[in-house]
Amino acid sequence: MHVSITQLLIILVIVIVLFGTKKLRNVGADLGVAIKSFRAAVKEGEEDKKQAEDESETIEGEITSKKNEKV
């Protein structure tokens, strides 16, 4: 099932007629803001995960050093 360029243009014209250019511009801007905030949240989550891994490595190092002192 292939969609030709003419079919896409017809769909685009119908969407513009139904919603209007101002409404489509607002939807596009809202979508852009949503994508930016999603990327920022993903980046923040990765940084938190990395920080948690670094902290867990430090804790494990402290535990092994205490075990070595007891032996």
pLDDT per position as a tens digit, 3-59: 899 999 999 999 989 989 888 889 989 999 999 999 999 999 888 888 887 777 655
| pLDDT for the residue numbered 64 | 53
Distance from C-alpha of 12 to C-alpha of 18, rounded to nearest angstrom:
10
CA-based end-to-end distance of the chain: 71
Residue 65 belongs to a domain: yes
The burial of 6, by beta-carbon neighbours within 10 Å (0-12 exposed, 13-18 middle, 19 or more buried), is given as exposed
Residue 5 belongs to a domain: no
| pLDDT for the residue numbered 71 | 45
Containing structural domain, residue 38: 20-70
Output 28 or 63, whichever has higher pLDDT.
Answer: 28
Q: How many domains does the chain have?
A: 1
Residue 62: pLDDT band with limits 50, 70, 90:
low
Residue 14 belongs to a domain: no
